[in-house]
Amino acid sequence: MGLDVKAREILEQLKAAALPKLSEIGPAAARAAMRSSFFRGKDTPVGKVENRTMPGPAGDMALRIYTPLEAKAATLPGFVFFHGGGFVIGDLDTHDDLCRCLANASGCRVVSADYRLAPESPFPAAVEDCLAATQWIDAHKGELGIAGDIAVGGDSAGGNLAAVVCQLAKSAGPKLAFQLLIYPVTQLGQPDTPSMRENGKGYFLERDGMAWFTRMYCPDAQHHRDPRLSPLLAADLSGLPPAYVVTAGFDPLRDEGVAYADKLDAAGVPVTHVNYPGMIHGFFSMRGLIPKAREAVAASAAALRAALVTE
């Protein structure tokens, strides 16, 4: 299958704009560019949005809590979301509309956690924050209106962090019900996969961009085999929560996402892997322009609902 027509149009618009590479403008400008992206959705109505903080490893952490538009009870299943952005960019605002859509479609109370970013706070700061957020949210479920074991998930770098949190929570707690991994980074350090070679240039996320994100997040290559950085390299994936793994055909990260799904399956973890062959990295955030992205978000939310919601 070839590149989706709407995805191609976005790539052509980006090419025509001749925007500088993120590595050329630096982290601060790159963050501003992501916040102003033309293809992100905005302000999907939900039942309620609450901003609050929790004590984190390095000070207060911001959380944003989304109640679905048609919440049927005061207490709902809980889903903790970690945003993407290469561990360097992205925040609660860049993924606000995606969290709104996931809350409405899944029937879950979604809690988005604003972890520390590199290079100001390099590895393992983001891991520490995301694990702390998961543990705090689980410990305060009654206060937050959450029932049952919580799920975790995220896109790209956020998918990496969700996978790592699941591995760490196996021994550190809490007990998790599900993991939603959306085109996750599972191995840092430029693995020489076919998808990295075939899709490493011209398809939104590029090989050079991944190299820059990696240098910002973990400049010391000797750490690249640490499972907290590269969850694919963990020795034992048994006992992890059921997973729903999304990949995109024209994503340089496709093959490492597939490899992680396969390794989960081999370890006896219930896993569903869904590949969208015509899509590019980041397509969940392009819902306003790519119909297939809306389908993919809906399917992911349905999987989350099936795992957590008892009618």
CA–CA separation, 200 and 208 (whole Å): 8
Specify whether 95 is catalytic.
no
Q: Which residues contact 12 (CB under 8 A, 6 or more apart)?
A: none
- Catalytic, out of 83, 95, 97, 156: 156
Cβ atoms within 10 Å, residue 148: 15
- Catalytic, out of 96, 155, 281, 300: 281
Instruction: List residues bridging with 121 in a β-sheet.
Output: none
CA–CA separation, 24 and 34 (whole Å): 14
Specify whether 251 is catalytic.
yes
Please give the distance of CA 249 from its chain centroid, rounded to a whole number: 17
- Catalytic, out of 114, 251, 285, 300: 251
Asked whether 82 and 153 are in contact (CB, 8 A), the reply is yes
Q: What is the DSSP letter of 246?
A: E
Asked whether 204 and 167 are in contact (CB, 8 A), the reply is no
Q: What is the DSSP letter of 75?
A: S
Catalytic machinery residues: 156, 251, 281
